């Protein structure tokens, strides 16, 4: 069963800091490309390892190694067998039947059965922050230990994609079904999965070590003996470590200088592949319930004054692709024929005049505050600082408010304590999974970051998204999302700036690089050393 781009529309349903670590940084490769250690460097610190109740790339990297999922995906959006060796969607789209492999076991030796699949799906539905992702699932039947039958309230075009490793890790029911709250379960930090690697050690905020699971159900995999993920908060130290060969891989970096720097490194391969599924967008969000931002004309004026082209070409060195709407560039559902908000100071001033924001004697129309996510200067702080000067041209005084850490920023935005904020949000492959959450009025949930924190509400948009979430015709689904994008861009709860220019770097000598749509947010069971590194 293949999922082409057409059928996807319907969905078928510092070096010095490394000294003295308690593990070896030398990779060893046996004959045939098996064995050895891979050291990954990351600035992303996981809160825990259970992707069933936690979104984000910090959790996805380890979770997808520790837990297996029903399906996995290649680089052309085609689903591939994983725990499910086959799957079948009923003609009415209301039932999806999974046939599981018969040789999968958890790391503690217990077999993986349909009971575990049913338990996991319902646990994810109840606890994952992406409420729309499995909203259509009513129940999961288990007629035998290797058959799971998912029953749906309506056709769910994103369901197969939602079975990806980062979104549907299969948990052991015998561990998590003990009545404890799954969100705070002790197993989240001592996980037991059925994936290619098992957690061997975790020193919080410093490193975690994953070791080969010898009884992994795919013969001959994983190829590596061990993966060590070193958590390094200083991006500069991380780059030095890659250049020196102390770090063999680093995913999810976006800095223009870092990209250019590693592209010149002699023993490193840099790629922008492996992020299509994430669909990460960098944008400016408005609190639409705060005056004067409750007036769409003010939000539109800011868009015209912001000068997206300057931000992308100058501030980001041309490494980022401009974004003009809520669906990421390159998605088969992207609508390009939306209002572009080309730089136009005269138009911005006209809209502000019409909104009643007249300049005072000093030329000031209003004063606002802008927040940004700390830790990513090029995509966040630098853009916020630039917008302060850009908006001054149209009489808007913008105060840049720094947050000492991510939790502080997240708490402010989640509790609607902001005027404007920079943000980075993922599409997660399909609008039902990662886009709808930002725009549905039913998802205005105080205290929940990356919900509808803009408090945007348009009944027509709610209706379109509800219809598109059930539509199985590729043409009709494309038309619905096109209409949605045009309306939202016109309403302007968000000013879209760019696709986040994620890149990964790998040491030369590594083979079978993770360049599928999910990249390192999927099992690294095929990644191996073709040629050991020279340390």
User: Which CATH number goes with the domain that contains 472?
Assistant: 3.10.105.10
Residue 10 — very low, low, confident or very high, per pLDDT cuts 50/70/90?
very low
Which residue(s) pair with 199 in the sheet? 210
**Total structural domains within the chain:** 2
pLDDT given for residue 5 in this prediction: 43
- Over the range 218-254, which residues count as b (16 or more CB within 10 Å of their CB) and which as e? beebbbbbbbbbbbbeebebbbbbbbebbbbbbbbbb
pLDDT over 70 at 223, yes or no: yes
Pairing of the two strands 147-152 and 95-100: antiparallel
pLDDT given for residue 24 in this prediction: 39
DSSP 291-353: TTTTSHHHHHHHHHHH-HHHIIIIITTT-SEE--SSS-TT-TT----S------HHHHHHHHH
Among 33-37, 199-203, 364-368, the minimum mean pLDDT is found in 33-37
Residue located via tokens 């910090």: 58
CB contact at 8 A, 205 and 191: no
Residue 347 — very low, low, confident or very high, per pLDDT cuts 50/70/90?
very high
How confident is the model over 427-448, as pLDDT tens digits? 999 999 999 999 999 999 999 9
**pTM score of the predicted model:** 0.88
**Could you tell me the residue range of the domain that residue 331 belongs to?**
280-499
Task: Quote the CA–CA distance of 235 and 255 in Å, as a whole number.
Answer: 9
Average pLDDT of the segment spanning 211-217: 98
Distance of CA 270 to the CA centre of its chain: 20
Distance of CA 530 to the CA centre of its chain: 30
CB contact at 8 A, 437 and 131: yes
- Would residue 372 count as lying in a domain? yes
Long-range CB contacts for residues 410-414, cutoff 8 Å, separation at least 24: 410/449, 412/371, 413/285, 413/371, 413/449, 413/453, 414/446, 414/447, 414/448, 414/449, 414/451, 414/453
User: Between the CA atoms of 260, 265, 267 and 270, what dihedral angle is there, to the nearest 10 degrees?
Assistant: 0
Task: Quote the CA–CA distance of 353 and 376 in Å, as a whole number.
Answer: 35
CB contact at 8 A, 232 and 42: yes
pLDDT given for residue 174 in this prediction: 98
- Would residue 359 count as lying in a domain? yes
Residue 32 — very low, low, confident or very high, per pLDDT cuts 50/70/90?
very low
- Would residue 148 count as lying in a domain? yes
Cis geometry, peptide bond prior to residue 147 (ω within 30 degrees of 0): no
How confident is the model over 231-245, as pLDDT tens digits? 998 888 999 999 999
- Would residue 245 count as lying in a domain? yes
- Would residue 535 count as lying in a domain? no
pLDDT given for residue 535 in this prediction: 56
Residues 265, 286 within the same domain: no
Average pLDDT of every residue of the chain:
92
Residue 2 — very low, low, confident or very high, per pLDDT cuts 50/70/90?
very low
Burial of 273 (0-12, 13-18, 19+ CB in 10 A): middle
Residues 183, 47 within the same domain: yes
- Would residue 271 count as lying in a domain? yes
Residues 309, 440 within the same domain: yes
Residues 492, 508 within the same domain: no
- Encoded tokens for 161: 């994609």
Upper half-sphere CA count for residue 435 (Cβ side, 13 Å): 27
pLDDT over 60 at 213, yes or no: yes
Compute and round to an integer the Cα radius of gyration of the chain: 23
455: left (phi over 0), alpha (psi -120 to 50) or beta: left
Average pLDDT of the segment spanning 491-497: 98
Total Cβ atoms within 10 A of residue 115:
17
Task: Quote the CA–CA distance of 95 and 90 in Å, as a whole number.
Answer: 5
pLDDT given for residue 424 in this prediction: 95
Average pLDDT of the segment spanning 5-19: 39
Task: Quote the CA–CA distance of 161 and 13 in Å, as a whole number.
Answer: 9
Spatial neighbors of 118 by CB under 8 A, at least 6 apart, are 140, 141, 142, 148
Residues 491, 514 within the same domain: no
Q: For the chain, how long is the longest CA-to-CA vector?
A: 77
pLDDT over 50 at 9, yes or no: no
Residue 33 — very low, low, confident or very high, per pLDDT cuts 50/70/90?
low
pLDDT over 80 at 533, yes or no: no
Residues 303, 227 within the same domain: no
- Would residue 445 count as lying in a domain? yes
203: left (phi over 0), alpha (psi -120 to 50) or beta: beta
How confident is the model over 49-100, as pLDDT tens digits? 999 999 889 999 999 999 999 999 999 999 999 999 999 999 999 999 999 9
Residue 31 — very low, low, confident or very high, per pLDDT cuts 50/70/90?
very low
pLDDT given for residue 455 in this prediction: 98
Spatial neighbors of 237 by CB under 8 A, at least 6 apart, are 14, 15, 16, 17
How confident is the model over 131-163, as pLDDT tens digits? 999 999 999 999 999 999 999 999 999 999 999
CB contact at 8 A, 427 and 281: yes
Please choose, from the candidates 129, 137, 108, the residue with its C-alpha nearest in 3D space to the C-alpha of residue 52: 129
Task: Quote the CA–CA distance of 162 and 173 in Å, as a whole number.
Answer: 20
Residues 241, 92 within the same domain: yes
CB contact at 8 A, 218 and 525: yes
Residues 12, 116 within the same domain: yes
Residues 268, 242 within the same domain: yes
Residues 286, 244 within the same domain: no
Task: Quote the CA–CA distance of 492 and 397 in Å, as a whole number.
Answer: 20
Task: Quote the CA–CA distance of 78 and 399 in Å, as a whole number.
Answer: 46
Average pLDDT of the segment spanning 502-527: 96
Residues 35, 175 within the same domain: yes
pLDDT given for residue 534 in this prediction: 65
CB contact at 8 A, 46 and 166: no
Residues 495, 515 within the same domain: no
Total Cβ atoms within 10 A of residue 356:
11
Give the domain CATH number at 271: 3.40.190.10
- Would residue 534 count as lying in a domain? no
List Cα–Cα distances, 76 to 107, 172, 356, 514, in angstroms.
31, 30, 50, 13
pLDDT given for residue 458 in this prediction: 98
Average pLDDT of the segment spanning 28-35: 58
């Amino acid at each position: 069963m293949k999922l082409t781009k057409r059928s996807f529309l319907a969905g078928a349903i510092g070096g010095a800091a490394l000294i003295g670590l308690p593990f070896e940084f030398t990779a060893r490769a046996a004959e045939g490309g098996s064995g050895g250690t891979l050291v990954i460097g990351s600035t992303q610190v996981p809160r825990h390892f259970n992707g069933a109740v936690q979104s984000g790339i910090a959790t996805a990297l380890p979770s997808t190694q520790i837990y297996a999922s029903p399906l996995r995906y290649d680089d052309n959006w085609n689903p591939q067998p994983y725990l499910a060796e086959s799957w079948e969607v009923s003609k009415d789209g209301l039932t999806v039947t999974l046939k599981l492999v018969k040789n999968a076991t958890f790391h503690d030796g217990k077999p993986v059965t349909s009971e575990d699949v049913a338990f996991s799906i319902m646990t994810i539905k109840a606890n994952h922050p992406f409420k729309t992702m499995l909203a259509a699932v009513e129940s999961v039947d288990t007629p035998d230990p290797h058959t799971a039958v998912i029953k749906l309230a309506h056709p769910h075009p994103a369901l197969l994609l939602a079975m990806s490793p980062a979104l549907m890790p299969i948990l052991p029911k015998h561990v998590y079904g003990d009545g404890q709250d799954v969100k705070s379960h002790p197993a989240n930090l001592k996980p037991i999965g059925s994936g290619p690697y098992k957690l061997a050690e975790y020193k919080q905020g410093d490193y975690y070590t994953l070791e080969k699971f010898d009884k992994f159900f795919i013969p001959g995999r994983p190829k590596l003996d061990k993966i060590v993920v070193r958590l390094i908060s200083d991006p500069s130290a991380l780059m030095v470590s890659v250049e020196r060969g102390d770090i063999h891989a680093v995913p999810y970096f976006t800095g223009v200088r870092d990209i250019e720097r590693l592209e010149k490194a002699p023993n490193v391969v840099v790629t922008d592949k492996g992020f299509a599924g994430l669909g990460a967008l960098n944008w400016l969000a408005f609190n639409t319930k705060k005056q004067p931002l409750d007036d769409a004309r003010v939000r539109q004026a800011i868009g015209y004054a912001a000068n997206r082209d300057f931000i992308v070409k100058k501030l980001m060195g041309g490494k980022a692709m401009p974004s003009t709407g809520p669906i990421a560039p390159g998605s088969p559902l992207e609508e390009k024929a939306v209002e572009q908000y080309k730089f136009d100071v005269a138009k911005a001033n006209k809209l502000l005049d019409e909104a009643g924001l007249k300049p005072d004697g000093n030329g000031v129309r209003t004063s606002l505050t802008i927040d940004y996510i700390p830790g990513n200067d090029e995509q966040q702080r630098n853009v916020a600082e630039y917008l302060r000067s850009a908006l001054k041209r149209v009489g808007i005084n913008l105060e840049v408010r720094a947050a000492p850490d991510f939790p502080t920023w997240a708490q402010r935005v989640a509790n609607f304590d902001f005027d404007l904020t920079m943000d980075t949000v993922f599409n997660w492959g399909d609008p039902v999974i990662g886009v709808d959450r930002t725009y549905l009025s039913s998802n205005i949930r105080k205290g929940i970051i990356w919900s509808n924190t803009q408090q945007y509400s348009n009944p027509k948009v709610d209706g379109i998204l509800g219809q598109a979430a059930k539509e199985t015709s590729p043409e009709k689904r494309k038309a619905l999302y096109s209409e949605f994008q045009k309306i939202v861009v016109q309403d302007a709860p968000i000013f879209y700036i760019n696709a986040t220019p994620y890149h990964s770097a790998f040491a030369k000598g590594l083979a079978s690089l993770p360049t599928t749509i999910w990249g390192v947010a999927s099992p690294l069971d095929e990644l191996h050393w073709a040629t050991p590194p020279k340390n």
